[in-house]
Structure 1
């Protein structure tokens, strides 16, 4: 069929009409048996990458642009008779490519969420593997990916799973704590007393600690009311040994009320539950509102960031919080596409801004950008250092601080704070003895961060980017 392209059709006499595309019907991919001429507007002239929101059905969002979608329309009688065919579209380097048509697995690109005034699409299906990492992570490949122990990833390429449910139905709080065995081991030697879970989430780490140490109590902090409710239900069996507060972890000193803690745990990032709820707006894999707030009662939203920030400020956010090398291109594309109304449109805009060659490998192209916007909305890195300092000051002698980080920005801050607090010589002069009266506040339990084991990475992909650092109060 040569180099025919959508929109550059041929006329009569065996040629496609102008503005049309040829559909070739071939049973089982074999010899073509018939052709049909269909409007070219139904096929995007842009090359479709594996991460495009492609070819999987007509957009259910009102007013959605076809962009990278190959919309479904009736096949000819001949095509129906052989069960489908192929569509000719432009591939890499301008070459024509045949793609299956219609797609074998239609899906609703906006499962679990309907815009205001829109109609719920009945074809909602389970979402496939992810982020992440990291929900919580990444250099992760990181939504990230993960707050409160779910294997997150800011660059979250871990698996996002969900099941079909009616619109408005509340999903159960999914929570798989990361490196729970290592966390329990770290706190097994601390004095009896209070342990603060500064990122409570679904309560998985707290549950394991309460089960392993009958002589401790746990105070859980979280900014997400849904997490607090889920953890409260999960840990109710421990009675007065557990209590929770709706606080951001940088208010740790206020939560301690002068009490010295035997341990403090931080599990940074975004939780699996938040990623798997489209209406929270954290994930690029399901359409939802541009929200991304861990505390729904707080002010700034993702919509504010993408629709009101100047281009230069967007570039700063993408570079500073995600090390995004295409920050300028992405920021320019976002500004040009305003107003953006949902996460699906944002993800599509980001993907289109990234060169095709860079989209072919690695995590989803929107992973880092979503991570950066989420961090900006929730001020995650701004509050981390003061929270760690408050934790160190709030520890009793022999108490331990453990931190799970999921991307390089978080980990750099954690490493810097712990090293500074454990310094035994003047800054920049490790060859000199400490100055008179100088005493380090911490002892590093392990100089290098610890990673999850292979088994855990396989069982819980969102844990892949996690790095655990710990220190003991002197």
Structure 2
């Protein structure tokens, strides 16, 4: 991998997340968020000659970063299809899985992809560029109630109903195609002191809906629980409260609601046990080097 490709995305909590995998030679590991290849490259550096690593990514841009290593297999797919591709590659169980759920700086910095309100461009936001639905499709076709719902659930915006109403009224005159069009519509609803934070929430909500991120995360976690061998490790980095709550609840209880169920002897019926009882966060030094890591949280669990 060239130095240019490494800048695609600076790996967050690199050593902590890979230490959590408890790497061993001859074992099978999965990086379900390959991206710029930073985490995968470090796994391969530490993995013995007989180890194996699969890297998942649905974004065709990630293919530029594929590692030339006979221990590595690249899978161009959404990680929600983890189970399908493990079966396809004849893998019955895995020894560790790493997921860095953050959106890479590569996506935010590419104006053509429409992930950021900092640039003007098409309202796309598709991680998989072959997928049919874009952010513009959502804004121009969803019913007002649907729009309000995703803005509230995925953006945690208190004025979601007002935002949805303004969007629907505006699109009745002219369709919403570019980020600048959209910003001009919703910006007046935000106070200047919180404008950037609120706009970030709006874009987050749209991105999550376009890519079905919450559903994909749940499917991946179920598959991870199924395929991890006893003693296998799950190492997951989250960035916002929605995904963190899903991961936290699943590790703690085996379900996404966090509902604790116990057997006759009072043992909690979760497939995992926590390795780090306290969530791991970046050091001040890492945050200074990579501001994107500021909101990162790492949870490590072991399959019972």
Contact 2:157 2:198 (8 Å CA) reproduced: no
Structure showing greater radius of gyration is 1
Classify the secondary structure of the residue corresponding to 1:265.
strand
Structure 1 residue 362: deviation in Å? 7.3
Structure 1 Cα separation of the partners of residues 167 and 286 of structure 2:
37
Out of 221, 237, 256, the residue aligned to residue 56 of structure 2 is 221
Contact 1:175 1:273 (8 Å CA) reproduced: yes
Structure 1 Cα separation of the partners of residues 65 and 235 of structure 2:
20
Quick one: higher RCO (CA 8 Å, sep 6+), 1 or 2? Answer: 2
Classify the secondary structure of the residue corresponding to 1:470.
strand
Structure 1 unmatched runs, 5+: 1-170
Contact 1:269 1:405 (8 Å CA) reproduced: yes
Structure 2 Cα separation of the partners of residues 209 and 184 of structure 1:
7
Aligned to 1:434: 266
Q: TM-score, normalised by structure 2?
A: 0.89
Contact 2:187 2:195 (8 Å CA) reproduced: no
Aligned to 1:268: 101
Question: Does structure 1 residue 208 correspond to structure 2 residue 42?
Answer: yes
Structure 1 residue 278: deviation in Å? 0.6
Q: TM-score, normalised by structure 1?
A: 0.58
Contact 2:17 2:236 (8 Å CA) reproduced: no
Aligned to 1:342: 178
Instruction: Considering fraction of residues, name the structure with more helix.
Output: 2
Structure 2 unmatched runs, 5+: none
Contact 1:190 1:263 (8 Å CA) reproduced: no
1:358-408 per-position Cα deviation (integer Å, ceiling 9, x unaligned) = x31474431000000000000000121121010111112221011111111
Structure 2 Cα separation of the partners of residues 326 and 421 of structure 1:
33
Residues 172 and 198 of structure 1, relative CA distance in 2, 3 Å threshold = closer
Residues 319 and 190 of structure 1, relative CA distance in 2, 3 Å threshold = farther
Structure 1 residue 473: deviation in Å? 1.3
Question: Does structure 1 residue 458 correspond to structure 2 residue 292?
Answer: no
Structure 2 Cα separation of the partners of residues 251 and 392 of structure 1:
14
Count of residues in Structure 1 that have an aligned counterpart in Structure 2: 291
Classify the secondary structure of the residue corresponding to 1:399.
strand
Aligned to 2:79: 249
Structure 2 Cα separation of the partners of residues 210 and 399 of structure 1:
18
Structure 2 Cα separation of the partners of residues 361 and 334 of structure 1:
20
Contact 1:293 1:301 (8 Å CA) reproduced: yes
Structure 1 residue 214: deviation in Å? 2.2
1:229-280 per-position Cα deviation (integer Å, ceiling 9, x unaligned) = 2221xx21xx211110111111111121243111111111321111111111
Structure 1 Cα separation of the partners of residues 31 and 100 of structure 2:
8
